[in-house]
Amino acid sequence: MSAIARLCIALTVLAGTLVAAAAQEYPARTVKILVPFGAGGPADIYARFLGQQLQETLKQAFVIEDRPGAGSVIGTGEVAKAAPDGYTLLMMSNTHTTNETLLPNKPFQLLRDFVPVAAVNSSDLIMVVHPEVPAQDLREFIALLKARPGDLNYASSGPGTPYHMAGELFKAMSGTNIVHVAHRGSGDARTAVMGGHVQMMIDAITTTAPTVQSGQVRALGTTGRKRSTVLPDVPTIAEAGLPGYEATIWLGIMAPAGTPAAIVDKLNGEINAVLERPETRAVWAKQGAEPLVMTPAEFDGYLRSDIEKWAKVIHTAGIKVQ
């Protein structure tokens, strides 16, 4: 064996040893989880929950920073440019998988510029309207939209978000014309509906159930295959008059491409340990959220499947960013 070959082998072994050592010591300083959505939405809420749990087990600070805008593109692009060292993470959602088709000219590609770390959870959405909308149930609301095409609006937190896609799927399946009004974040969209400035929103049940229970909005249907345990008296949209309708929101953690596999695996194990705790499952069940426990490889497959699924929906329904 030549001296050069022996040197290359030695350097490879040394590099592997250094990476393994770095993973053992990780995290040695503050970790930032960047949320490319507004404060108060599901991504922000569960990022803070997860950060607090990881901070307690890994004995380092996990800081949550919200960077909303452009349907998650602004904050996500910031993480894509971060050092791949495990100290800047992305809290992402199915906004990102839909945007792979909906926004082809964005400055990053999900599976090129990021690596999957761990899935977090999934939950149903719920269609709500302002109490002054003259429709008591979904069938009446669809009839109202057909009688007044283009007159009523629905809110979302931006293009490609689950709220936007759920609204467009509703339009396509119901044959109605309700105008999309994008907001900077889900909190702004929610406030617009409660204030009567926008008539409807399909929102996360985890954050909207209290406004339904307080009478600030009227629920017309939930988006899962079965009724939510949080609001069991509210029918699913499928049973309320739109058979086959289904939409959810799910969350996950990704890191910049090039992040060492040892660090990714360590984070995955720590996050999954949080998700598998009985107390986590109990608290989330009351909120309508279900933990998603996956390996990085399983989460990668989940992402690819969701990208393909929404590409078909977007092309079939002709959904575009206005």
Tokens standing for 7?
């040197």
pLDDT at 316: 81
* Residues 37 and 99 sit within 8 Å (Cβ to Cβ): no
Give the mean model confidence (pLDDT) for residues 29-39: 96
Does position 226 have pLDDT exceeding 90, yes or no?
A: yes
211 and 271: one domain?
A: no
- Whether 236 and 133 map to the same domain: the answer is yes
Q: Are strands 248-256 and 114-129 parallel, antiparallel or unpaired?
A: antiparallel
Do 116 and 255 belong to one domain? yes
pLDDT at 227: 95
pLDDT higher than threshold 90 for residue 223: yes
Q: Is residue 131 domain-resident? A: yes
Co-location of 112 and 259 in the same domain: yes
DSSP-derived 3-state class of residue 204: strand
Predicted pLDDT at 21:
58
Mean pLDDT for the chain overall:
92
Whether residue 113 is predicted with pLDDT greater than 80 in this model: the reply is: yes
Residues 136, 201, single domain; the answer is: yes
Whether residues 226 and 167 share a domain: the answer is yes
d(CA 299, CA 119): 6
CA-based nearest residue to 1, from 74, 13, 10, 56? 10
Does residue 14 sit within a domain?
no
Same domain, 136 and 42: no
Which burial class, exposed, middle or buried, applies to 205 when counting CB atoms under 10 A from its CB (0-12, 13-18, 19+)?
buried
CATH of the domain at 144: 3.40.190.10
Residue carrying the six token digits 């926004």 = 103
Number of domains in the chain: 2
pTM score of the predicted model: 0.85
153-156 vs 179-182, strand pairing mode: parallel
What is the domain range of residue 290?
27-122+249-317
Average pLDDT over every residue of 276-292: 95
Confidence of residue 70 (pLDDT cuts 50, 70, 90): confident
